[in-house]
Amino acid sequence: MKPAPFEYRAAGTLDEALALLGPPGRSIAPLAGGQSLVPLLNLRRARPAVVLDLNRLTELAGIEVTDSAVVVGAMTRLHDLERHEGLRAALPVLPRTAARVAHRQIRHRATLGGSLCHADPAAQLAATALALGATLRLRRAGGERTVPAEEFFTGPHRTARRSDELLTAVAFPRRPGFRYRFESVTRRGGAGFPLVGVCVGVRLEAGAVAEARIAACGVADRPLRLPGAEQALAGYGAAAADGALGEVADAAVAGTRPPSDLHGSAEFRGDLLRAVLRRAAVHLLTEGS
């Protein structure tokens, strides 16, 4: 199919892009990597009046690593996220998770901001942003605000971003002592969205979990933080056998609303969540990040 008619605009600066977004009354779709928007346009599931191309906004791309945080520009390509040496040392879960998104060709075009704003319920980087406690910077003409990742995803393909705003950057805090692991089960040879994915973070004291952060994708109408599973994981140490994590896995499933579709039932997705959560937790408790 071909897209419905639309007006194409290419912004040269961030201020120009925000000015174009500002006036109400017209549906405007920002275009970043286009790996999600273009198929939706072709299928006519998206029918904006204007497509606003952001690819000239190089000011929104880049990765800054400090002692307290990693700040990633919204237009940073997933390939750059995957290959950044400083990021591999500071927050290795980010490049490792980026490397699991789709195919290499897609990662060369797809952007972090585009992935998060598309807000697919099964998106790997959305779950990772939740587990890491990321904050998202949103800019409009004349103002800026930050939104915690837990408040950003509001439903399937819906976010807290307003129509006159652009996501400009994402800040991922570096929590002392924390290490993270992302695990998932995908279909189509690992190239598609996961059926279920989980990002687990732990901070150990005296060999046992003192604090945990857990988020999952593919288990509800949006990526979810799982506080019940975090509490259940506290106190576990390297001596814990895989089977001993059943209480943690059950708490994780209890905090979700898995969908049933042609790829699997809600019960099947619950079993997958148990499996990937155990895999990630055992790895962190016995081998590290």
Measured distance CA(200)–CA(210) in Å, rounded: 13
Measured distance CA(217)–CA(153) in Å, rounded: 12
At 191-227, the pLDDT tens digits run 678 999 999 999 999 989 999 999 999 999 999 999 9
Name the pTM for this structure.
0.94
Q: Is the pLDDT of residue 254 over 70?
A: yes
Who contacts 249 (Cβ-Cβ below 8 Å, separation ≥6)?
229, 273, 274, 277, 278
Q: 78 vs 25, which has greater pLDDT?
A: 78
Q: Is the pLDDT of residue 241 over 60?
A: no
